[in-house]
Structure 1
């Protein structure tokens, strides 16, 4: 029988953070079975370790509706489930080193991030689906599409209340994200020089919203660095999940000597 573990990532409280399923021995599972398990678990993602060779692990991620190339919070959960040490996850997006310390905090280093323009027509369609006016946008954080293992448009607003009142058009946003192959939408409010509140709609995965999104955090870190919006060496705090009653705290570290973005947080079992 397949053993499925459940962890909450980016929190020390099992009732907070983003829950993830973890299957540490998925060698005998085909794609259809992994997809079915992810749907049964019902979390935004379940991580499946399909093979291992020493500290090298082949890992795949399934949402309730589809496979995704990379998932940060399920990476944190799976690494903590494996235990302290250095692990190398081989994902559909590339190789992701993950270190777990003795306190149960995992730090992943993303694949090399990159940022591209968000075309005006796509931005207009995105704002229409979010039901946000263009004048709500923060001119200091311009809209872009960022990649850190998966693609995430970055859209920032000047009002925390705007972020709190998220009420998007699910069919319209799902269709747009599917067409553009976006994984989540990183919605942002800047609360300080290195502190941000974020929310991440994920309708293409069958989930209204993620309470913590490590892949988007990596993409956002790459965006901030590439646009020069934070110092080249910085430690950032992302607050997510508060509006859903599942508070999450994600630490993002930028190091000019490293192309990838480091994303850190704990994970705890869900009983």
Structure 2
């Protein structure tokens, strides 16, 4: 068994979001995978078990727990796979459904499962804002607070200024408990720079990570949210900048077609970490 380390959504090993990758996890049980993910220490490690030609079952583990879907580890695993077996399509069977990935060079594009979104009840909204230490007047009223899904659930919380996004200081125990209650994987904090350009930050206390530098699963869910609510004209490509406040700049491209039932594509580069 070989444990690889890649930085996803970047072409610089010092940027993006680090991910562990095991291209052949045959024979590993849950306990061993969880232990490896904790030892690697990145926000997620992807474990692939080969299944047919250019196909594999995939599972994702944070240092603390298994997660249903992870975008940056998918991009990292696809690029690692392509470097060893050649570029082209890769079919990944995750617990949430099939994730189709195409690779070219050190770039990969995943297509999520069908996205959806749901309102957040008022009492839960109040607890979320309190845990984030946000005031209602600091939010962007054009982007409603809502839970979004494209393989994992993420509440979308849009702030009105880049300065407020940069000032991240949340109540970690309170947010972790609230996220556990509602099965949220990360919280997607966003600021809209222009019609198709956004900046994001993603607290991830359930995984034992204060903040994720790049979150492909949240970007896919956010893309579905934008399309469902008519917040961008489609078809469209949306750019998400993330990780700059952590010193790990990341670039995610989110592709939206006009079919509301189709998956959301997320594109990014990945490079080995020496």
Shift of 1:52: 2.2
> Which structure 2 segments of 5+ residues have no match?
none
1:124 maps to which of 126, 132, 137:
126
Given the alignment, which residue of 200, 221, 224 partners 1:222? 224
Query: Whole-Å Cα distance in 2 between the matches of residues 248 and 52 of structure 1?
Result: 31
The alpha-carbon deviation at position 51 of structure 1 amounts to 3.1
Secondary structure, aligned partner of 1:230? coil
Which residue number in structure 1 is paired with residue 103 of structure 2? 100
Matching residue of 1:153: 155
For the residue of structure 1 that corresponds to 2:10, the secondary structure is: coil
Residue correspondence of structure 1 range 9-158 to structure 2 within 5 A: 9-83=8-82, 84-101=87-104, 103-158=105-160
Per the normalisation by structure 2, the TM-score is 0.97
1:266 corresponds to: 269
TM-score in terms of structure 1 length: 0.98
| 1:177-219, Cα deviation, whole Å (9 max, x unpaired) | 0111100000000000000000000000000000000000000
Write the distance in 2 (CA, Å) between the matches of 1:170 and 1:155.
16
Partner Cα distance (1:250, 1:62) in 2: 22
Aligned-partner SS, 1:53: coil
Could you list the runs of 5+ residues in structure 1 that have no partner in the other structure?
none
Two-structure CA RMSD over aligned residues (Å): 0.7
Distance in 2, Cα, partners of 1:105 & 1:41:
23
Aligned length: 269
Runs of 4+ in 1 over 6 A off after TM superposition: none
Secondary structure in 1 matching 2:80: helix
Deviations 1:81-114 (A, max 9, x none): 110110011001110100001x211000000000
Give SS of 2:51's match: strand
Q: Which moved more, 1:13-22 or 1:257-266?
A: 257-266
Q: 2 CA distance for matches of 1:216 and 1:122?
A: 20
Alignment of 1:109-258 (within 5 A): 109-257=111-259
Q: Residue 232 of structure 1: CA displacement? A: 1.7
